[in-house]
Amino acid sequence: AQRVTQPEKLLSVFKGAPVELKCNYSYSGSPELFWYVQYSRQRLQLLLRHISRESIKGFTADLNKGETSFHLKKPFAQEEDSAMYYCAPGGTSYGKLTFGQGTILTVHP
């Protein structure tokens, strides 16, 4: 069965501090990995995908197949990064996504 674990439900950091949101997955085949973000009162939106290997809003995520992890990192957190973050591996079956429980990130001034 597909499974995604985001161990931290809440994560608080101060502005300028590094932040890492953890994600571990158990998935058959070779999934594509995504991070989605939901800012307050906004809809869910794609933050980044592992295939692109790009940095969005200063965030990066490295896929570690050995550890089956896809942690999201940012070296210097900003207050506007405060949001709910979801890790979501996707399969090839019509592009279905499996969402983790989500991590609420709060960046304090």
Where does this chain bind another protein (CB under 8 A)? 43-46, 49, 51-52, 86, 94-102
**4/107 with CB nearer another protein:** 4
Least distance (Å) from another protein to the CB of residue 105?
A: 15
**15/82 with CB nearer another protein:** 82
A 10 A CB-CB count for 39 gives: 13
Residue 90 sits at φ, ψ, to 5 deg, of -125, 145
Question: Which residues 6+ apart lie within 8 Å of 23 measured at CB?
Answer: 4, 5, 6, 33, 35, 69, 70, 71, 72, 87, 100
Least distance (Å) from another protein to the CB of residue 18?
A: 25
**12/98 with CB nearer another protein:** 98
Least distance (Å) from another protein to the CB of residue 92?
A: 10
